[in-house]
Structure 1
Amino acid sequence: MAHPHSANPSAPDATRRSERSRLAIYDAALALVAEVGYPKTTIEGIAARAGVGKQTIYRWWSSKADVLLEAFLDLGEQAARADGHEPPYAIPDTGDLAADLKQVLRATVDELHDPVFEAPSRALAAEGVVNEELGRRFVAKLLEPSLQLYVDRLRSAQDAGDVRADIDPRIALELFVSPLAQRWLQYTGPISYDYTDTLVDYALYGLAPR
């Protein structure tokens, strides 16, 4: 009788192998988009770089857009966990709305300057303008969840009496998020802590003399 631990001792751990392949595919997709751009990135190229067959990719995703979106989402989650943040994510609520918004926007500045994030996010944003389906997915999977965090924090500020009760948080957040996105996408000026701090001050306190 064979020893119970000697049967097929080298059987691969399918779950672990699948996870390794998935992460290799993420890394390959992000790297290729940074090197050759989204239009020239292909499923075949991702598969070759990841060391997997292209059918492995098609088994999990239907298009390169799906691969890149999921890879970018995973990249953000890994970065958040590295900073000690676990889902569900939230903007800090210290009771000081201006300080909390400045903190999260400064973190956004850091991310926008990080080459690991910059290349794929620029590729997704640019391609989403001309590719309607990708644009919808980019907004739904990546932008809206982040914007909802601002909505939640602004509603908390409303409850605390720090923001007028009649404002629409979804519109209000655009006062500081949209200018930052426009400046970053169009290279119209430097992205810095001073810039985002100023956006928060202008948005919260207005332009008229106090």
Structure 2
Amino acid sequence: MLTTEPSTEPSNAVTWDGQPVTLRRAGVDDITDRKLDVEARLKELRRQRGIALLDNKPFDGSEISALEDELDALTEAEGEATRRQRAAEATELAKRREAARTDVRLYEQCRQEAIKAAELAALDLYVALQDVSTYCEKLSRSITSLGGRPWETTSGAVRERLSQRLTVLMRPLLGRNPQQSGTTFYGSIEFPEPQETMSGEWVPAEAAAVAAEIKQILQGE
């Protein structure tokens, strides 16, 4: 008869007809190894039992019974360990998926906010560049009225320089087409090759670009 051995601490020891047979504490990591040990011992004991039967000799089968009980317990523990592992993995996967969903919602909101900021900045740039063209045209007419010949101050010349400066500013975002040298792009918008001479603050550089022309026409007064 199989009974549990009294103990003040958790134990998996059992007795068989009064003879203690201690089952090793089996954690998840060593259940398989212990099962192999038990199965190997059972195989040997069953072989000995067969020999005893053939030789008409007595054989004590208590260890076989105890080991079979232990093997059943280990098999159940192994199954439970597998179930718990799968449940833990499923829980962890669910957490990761929920975290990913949270990220999707957050990043989509941030993306839309960034797009809105880009739209407003683009509108501001459009208005500012439109003002630049307007004042370039007025400046050119004034220079012409004083007998000068606009060159660096024309709307076309200023646009060319500002496009180069904008390219330098946008350079970290620009891609490059290996089949078309000399151009870079952002999406479907092409930009000229960035020129380092166009880096720096725009206003001082533009003032320097037209300084000689402005000085000449003012001194002509």
Shorter-chain TM range is under 0.3
- TM-score w.r.t. the length of structure 2 is 0.26
TM-score (norm 1): 0.27
Hey, which of these two has a bigger chunk of strand by percent? Answer: 2
Larger-gyration structure (1/2)? 2
Could you say which structure has the greater relative contact order, defined with CA pairs below 8 angstroms and 6 or more residues apart? 1
